[in-house]
Structure formats: C-alpha cells, structure tokens
Amino acid sequence: MKIFSLTFLLLLLFPFASEVAVEFPALSPIVDSPQKLNWNKPGVVNIVFKSTDGGQSWQDISRGLPENLQAEDIRRDGFFANESGLYVRTENGIYHSKPTATGSFWEKEIFPDKLGSIAPVKMGILAYNDYGQFLQKLNATGDWSPIYSNFKEKEVLTVFESAGGTAFIGSNHSLFKSINSGKTWKQVYTGGWVMKLVESNGVLLATSLNGILRSADQGESWDCVINEGGVGIAVECINGGFAAITYNTKSMTRRVRTSYDGGKIWQPIDGDLPASLSINSIIQVGEFFFCGHPAGIFRSSDKGKTWKLLLPSIENKVFNLFVSGNVIYALPRNGGC
C-alpha cells in the first residue's frame, strides 16, 4: 500500500492547471451572448458569484467577506452549500450567505480554532484539519465541541455523514466508517485516498485515487464503477441518479457522465463540451445541468446532449459550482481546485 503526500495528491488531481488559458482559443461560435461582469469593482471581488434565475444572470456577492481575502486563501474543502445556503471558511471565521439573502450579505461567526476545513452534518457544521482534529457546532446551541477524538489516523481529506447517521472519514490512503457516533472506527477501503462522498436512495458514491467508488451496503464494501486510469474528480446527486467527473489517462481529459440506475451504468454527457484537463463541477438545478469548465459556466437543457456557455471564466480560473435549492453559487479557483 502506497501513501501519497498531500502535495502529490493535489498535483495528481489538478494537472496542467497553468495551461488552462490556452486550451480554448475559439469558443465564440457556441456562445449566445454570455453575461459579462465588471471585474474591476472596488473592494473584495471575484470570490463568490450567485444566480437565482437558472444561470441567466450572475451577481458578485463577495463584498462582506474579509477585504484582503483571495480565492487562493480558501482551502479546497473550506466551503460548502446546503439547504441553508453557502458557508465559506476564512482565516478569521466562517461566513454564511443564506439563499434568500438579497445582495452581498454575509453573517460571520467567530471560529474558536484554526481548523481550516468544514463539512455539513445532520446536527450542524463539522470543522477539521489534516491531522485528524475535529470540532462540531450544534445547531441547537451554537457551541463548538470536540468530536471523533477516538479517530487516530492523520492526513484527513474529507468527512461525510450518511442519512442514517453513519460517519465516514476519507484519508490519504483509505476510508473509515463509524456506526456509533465516532466511538469506534472500521477501515472499509484500503485502495488509496478517498476525497468526496454522496448518497442517494441508499447508494453511496465516492471519488478516489482509482476513479469512482460505489457501495450499496452502507459503506461496508466498495466497487470501482468508473476507472479510466485516472482519479475521480467530482461526484454529485442529480434528479433520479448521479453525475461524476473522472480523469481519463488515454485521452488526457476529464470526462463527465451520468447514471440513472444507482451508479451501476454510466453514460457520457460531454460530447458537446470542449475537451479539457480541468473540468471540475457538474450539478443539476431544476431541469438544467451546469458544468464548471475552464472556458466558464456551461448549461444544458437536454441532459448533456448540448451545452451553452453562460458565464465566461475570469482570470483563467475554473468555477466550482454549488446548489442551495434553486440558487447556484460559483467560486472561481485556480485549476478548479
């Protein structure tokens, strides 16, 4: 069993990010007047964008975040969205924007520690770091308290809680599971790192070193359902199924697929997208698919048969896309990471 350093992991996940700017010199023929934003406004800008109309228009809601904040200051797992809106972890706290907020309005919470990663759990928010330290904020009290103190592994990459309350922790070399609120942990996968997990109708999917993993027995066993020689980049729940992005070592591109049978069989939906090394997001809002691409944000109204560019990229960055109800949040990141 090989153990990969976090530095190597990031290089593996997001290769050739510096070349993104030269990949797509002629996209204008497929663009129907994409929205143009003013990137030169005073104050903090270009950190978070929001759309409430299916991607037709976008608002920069960065104002209200720390004035000196740069996109690179936020960790890969320093933000998430759920039904309550978008949460962003910065050096001096956690910022929350509700989906119903008008304009650039953020609520700030002073955070009691330096744990840079955050994740949603059923009872509130969980914060953690690479060294296996965890704090949980309970919605009922607003207090932060230690959790998972019996977990002894390091190089933590992700934390996930299933609908049934089972906790999962993905590390740089394996995946662990607890069915008793973290009192004891069982190693359930040893094939390399596991980064992100999602669940729908009792089926769990995860991005991994070997592609996309699937479990239909509450995470006890895992099978690789997409393996093209490269890693799993993203996995999301969509209406009636799943969407995933993986890296194909033969074509040296990232591929986008959907599955409507619980993650067993997958269909490509990227035939109309420009091939790229840095596609990083695929989400669904209503009947539309949205894709974070080096050229910008694309939308499909026919489940991926055709795509339209809605919002061009900025500063050669790739938008990370998140959903809260019918609200879309877009965070531009270097190489999509």
What token pair was written down for 35? Answer: 């929205």
| Per-residue pLDDT at 337 exceeds 60 | no
What does the mean pLDDT of the chain come to? 88
Mean pLDDT across the stretch 248-264? Answer: 98
**Residue 216 CB partners (closer than 8 Å, separation 6+):** 202, 203, 204, 262
pTM (2 d.p.): 0.86
Mean pLDDT across the stretch 105-132? Answer: 89
Which pLDDT belongs to residue 32?
42
Which pLDDT belongs to residue 35?
53
| Per-residue pLDDT at 95 exceeds 60 | yes
Mean pLDDT across the stretch 213-242? Answer: 98
Mean pLDDT across the stretch 41-52? Answer: 86
How many angstroms separate the first and last alpha carbons of the chain? 26
* 102 phi/psi in degrees, rounded to 5: -100, 135
Cα–Cα dist 13/233, whole Å: 7
The type of residue at 206 is: A
* 332 phi/psi in degrees, rounded to 5: -75, 130
Handedness of CA 38, 41, 46, 52 (dihedral sign): negative
| Per-residue pLDDT at 156 exceeds 70 | yes
Query: Do 11 and 23 meet the contact criterion of CB atoms below 8 Å apart?
Result: no
Which pLDDT belongs to residue 139?
76
Looking up tokens 């590390």 gives 171
Cα–Cα dist 156/311, whole Å: 34
With bands split at pLDDT 50, 70 and 90, how would you rate the model's confidence at 336?
Answer: low
Report the 10 Å Cβ neighbour count for 37: 17
